Structure 1
Amino acid sequence: FSEAVGQEHVLKTARLFAERGLVNHGWTYINIDDCWQGRRGGKYGAIQPNKRFPDMKAMCDAIHTMGMKAGIYSTPWMGTYAGFIGGSAPNAKSNYGEMAIPEKERKQEDQIFGRYPGVHRRKADHVGAVWLFDRDAKQWADWGFDYVKVDWNPNDVPTTKRIRKALDESGRDIVLSLSNAAPYEHAEELGKLANLWRTTGDIQDHWGSVSSIGFSQERWQKHMRPGHWNDPDILQIGKLGQPNQPNTTFVQTRLTPDEQYTHVTLWCLLAAPLIVSCDLEHIDSFTMGLLTNDEVIAVDQDPAARPARKAWSQGNFQVWTKELSDGSVAAGFFNTGKEKGILKVNLKELGLSGAYEARDLWKRADQGTVQGEMAVELNGHGASMFRFSKKK
């Protein structure tokens, strides 16, 4: 919903997660991104919601009653990317003075720095002299939030430590998601402080973006472990809204069905947090199939959190593998070229010696015993996903 997001949208989304049955497949968090913020106030002097969110606590309570958890968004900067106030200020009175644009020029009353890239133009894109994030964290805890996405760039370690401390002292267990494009050289330190961290800038719904991000994630894999995850950004599937717009209508992703299979297959092998931002009211059966295949999701959610690796590549073909907690191995077979082709690989080159029972996870069909060479036909930009279990 981007700039149009409001309490009714969030609750409607939560109800759709329940009505469509997504809650039965592990989908748990209902998260607000930017554009919820009003002005500071309340007992903590924390950011209060704008008029589209009349009762944050009631909203969180309703989400919890439905069996789900609630997420919110902020930044340690003085302003957010969408131009609302952030977790710091230039002075104790939170008076932004000439940094703020005149009211008559604002798209929304509380969008005081203007639509993106206003935060940069108004020089609100840094941590202000007065730290207020700790007040905001206490307010989120009181409202009942379980998750916060904290968005700024670059994600530096000292600021992340301040954020972590504020959440630890908030009185509630709150998941910390760092955004965006965490510097790789700080991955290990940031990974100790956060539960997930963005490994990239914002993803887009085209093959160039999805493939360049997805197939470049191998180096990050060694930094994840249970409870601490690499985040290559949200899934670009279904009908999407446009960033930095008050969305009321949604447009089908530009990814082809084959590209969407590749997208979800690779994200699950990478143990990426699975996050969707699509229209659930008019969701089609294909998108539902992507979101409710428990065998595919199980690879993503495997508790061992062992890293995925690019085990084999030749021309436009790649195979990525991931060892699972039960001793089996998940594998994604990918065709990065535009034309249909047959991927032929000897399983020994994937580290699979001997006979295995193979199961096609997207087709949910056993493939029988495989040994030696395996050949898989793949559409252009397409993927198949298998689980190999050692034959007894």
Structure 2
Amino acid sequence: MREEEVKRNADYMSQHLKQFGWEYVTVDIQWYEPTADSSTYHNFAPLVMDDYSRLLPDPKRFPSAANGQGFKPLADYVHQLGLKFGIHIMRGIPRQAVHQSTAIRGTTKTARDIALNNICPWNSDMYGVNVALPEGQGYYNSLMDLYASWGVDFIKCDDIANSVIYQGTHKAEVTALRRAIDQTGRNMVLSLSPGPAPVKNGAFFQRTANMWRITDDFWDDWALLRNMFDRAAEWSAMSQPGTWPDCDMLPLGHIGIRSVDGPGGDRQTRFTPAEQRTMMTLWCLMQSPLIMGGELPDLDDWTTCLLTNADLLAMDDQITAKAETYRDDHVIVWQATSPVHQYVAVFNVADEPVTLTPNQRVRFGIPQQGTAIWQGQPAMSAVTQPLQPHDVWLIKA
């Protein structure tokens, strides 16, 4: 990612999406790596770092960060648009800081003194931090102090929610991050990745984080979307105001710029219109944080309508209870309530059309009076209801 791209997307969000509730602009992974040019990481590349073992934006890609200004100028730009600014970080302390024994601000210890040899299996930038040492907590404190001074509002910390090589959540460092954010006095959202976060740690995540990934990276692939129904059913009861299970980004519109993973490359989403309706419905019923993963200035009318649908956004914001209530090999049914509405969604997860009968409508709890949101017509306007493969019938009453 580059500074001009961040500004271009922030400008678009401010002008076209802010009024619908979209407000965070987040700089994704490896903003500190001068040679980063795709989603393939360069192992052991030199990183931009200050004297206290803290990574800084690469000034070649982020010119306003020159002379030690960090992300403050860019955050100021985003804030002036009425938006909030976020960054992606990796758990731990830079390997190069450990190898160079660089200082930890406010302590006599060095990076080597506080490092732990627990690493990320897919990115070589960091070692873990021994937060049982006061200086380990002090490192995270100094890091969050720096981000607060830049005006950061959102922190996505990666390689922390679930580790495939250490079998679970790095709980000690999650707790250290929570304490470090709190001691700054600045309100910063804490998002944890990657998933799938262990369901058994749900109460822990509720105490320490604002959102946590319940899946590995999500791309425009029906198999991944189909699998999300399983994860959403497990996690739906755990979401509450201020703490949200995260289904990951919405791969809509123009995606994959400089990407070489996922289904592959710079492209328009491979989800069909039906699958896009299904994804938006499930995310909003689940009350997942909504994170647009595409290039905003390239939005077409269809994608804009998905992102600004008032009924969907009201669901995501106002639902107070939700759950999967029925499942077979062809359909999955969710029900939800808000202070003013009842919702029922019937998803066709099969690869062939299905037709809902009057008996099924009764069994699934579909209200006699209601509106089919995607069709824009009364829910009982037909005796039977056809549903195409991977599509959804969403009723509001």
TM-score, normalization by structure 2: 0.79
In 1, Cα distance between equivalents of 2:269 and 2:379:
35
Q: 1:211 deviation in Å?
A: 1.3
Show the counterpart of 1:165: 179
Of 14, 17, 25, the match for 2:10: 14
Cα distance per residue 1:172-196 (max 9 Å; x no partner): 1100001112222111111211010
Instruction: Confirm or deny that 1:325 pairs with 2:330.
Output: no
Q: 1:40 deviation in Å?
A: 2.7
Cα distance per residue 1:117-175 (max 9 Å; x no partner): 352xx8x4543687332212111111111100011133332221100001001231100
Show the counterpart of 1:273: 289
Give the counterpart letter for 2:122 in structure 1: P
In 1, Cα distance between equivalents of 2:211 and 2:149:
23
Q: 1:347 deviation in Å?
A: 4.5
Show the counterpart of 1:188: 203
Give the counterpart letter for 2:217 in structure 1: D
Show the counterpart of 2:129: 127
Q: 1:316 to 1:151 in 2, by over 3 A?
A: same
| Backbone CA RMSD of aligned residues | 2.9
Cα distance per residue 1:236-291 (max 9 Å; x no partner): 21111157569xx8301111111111111111110011101102222111111111
> Is the 8 Å Cα contact of residues 215 and 247 (structure 2) preserved in structure 1?
yes
Instruction: Confirm or deny that 1:357 pairs with 2:369.
Output: yes
Secondary structure of 1:22's aligned partner: helix
Of 23, 26, 45, the match for 2:21: 26
Q: 1:386 to 1:125 in 2, by over 3 A?
A: farther
> Is the 8 Å Cα contact of residues 141 and 180 (structure 2) preserved in structure 1?
yes
> Is the 8 Å Cα contact of residues 88 and 157 (structure 2) preserved in structure 1?
yes
Q: 1:183 to 1:18 in 2, by over 3 A?
A: same
> Is the 8 Å Cα contact of residues 199 and 234 (structure 2) preserved in structure 1?
no
Q: 1:62 deviation in Å?
A: 1.4
Give the counterpart letter for 2:287 in structure 1: A
> Is the 8 Å Cα contact of residues 259 and 266 (structure 2) preserved in structure 1?
no
The alignment covers a number of residue pairs equal to: 346
Give the counterpart letter for 1:241 in structure 2: G
Secondary structure of 1:145's aligned partner: coil
In 1, Cα distance between equivalents of 2:233 and 2:258:
28
Q: 1:350 deviation in Å?
A: 3.6
TM-score, normalization by structure 1: 0.80
Of 106, 115, 122, the match for 1:117: 122
Q: 1:96 deviation in Å?
A: 8.6
Instruction: Confirm or deny that 1:65 pairs with 2:60.
Output: no
Identical-pair percentage: 27
In 2, Cα distance between equivalents of 1:12 and 1:200:
29
Of 363, 384, 390, the match for 2:393: 384
Show the counterpart of 2:347: 334
Show the counterpart of 1:203: 218
In 2, Cα distance between equivalents of 1:225 and 1:282:
33
Show the counterpart of 1:101: none
Instruction: Confirm or deny that 1:146 pairs with 2:160.
Output: no
Q: Gaps spanning 5+ residues in structure 2: where?
A: 33-46, 66-70, 104-109, 113-119, 164-168
In 1, Cα distance between equivalents of 2:79 and 2:185:
17
* Between structures 1 and 2, the one with greater strand share: 1
In 2, Cα distance between equivalents of 1:330 and 1:368:
11
* Between structures 1 and 2, the one with greater helix share: 2
Q: 1:348 deviation in Å?
A: 4.4
Show the counterpart of 1:284: 300
Of 225, 231, 242, the match for 1:227: 242
Show the counterpart of 1:50: 58
In 2, Cα distance between equivalents of 1:191 and 1:90:
35
In 2, Cα distance between equivalents of 1:243 and 1:196:
27
Show the counterpart of 1:107: none
In 2, Cα distance between equivalents of 1:245 and 1:144:
32
Secondary structure of 1:337's aligned partner: coil
Give the counterpart letter for 2:179 in structure 1: K
Q: Please say which of residues 268-277 and 308-317 is displaced more in the overlay.
A: 308-317
Cα distance per residue 1:82-126 (max 9 Å; x no partner): xxx69x8467516999xxxxxxxxxxxxxxxxx98352xx8x454
Secondary structure of 1:71's aligned partner: strand
Instruction: Confirm or deny that 1:216 pairs with 2:231.
Output: yes
In 2, Cα distance between equivalents of 1:65 and 1:125:
36
Q: 1:25 deviation in Å?
A: 1.1
Q: 1:349 deviation in Å?
A: 3.0
Give the counterpart letter for 2:176 in structure 1: R
Q: Gaps spanning 5+ residues in structure 1: where?
A: 80-84, 98-114
Secondary structure of 1:169's aligned partner: helix
Cα distance per residue 1:276-312 (max 9 Å; x no partner): 110222211111111111111111111x532x22222
Give the counterpart letter for 1:386 in structure 2: I
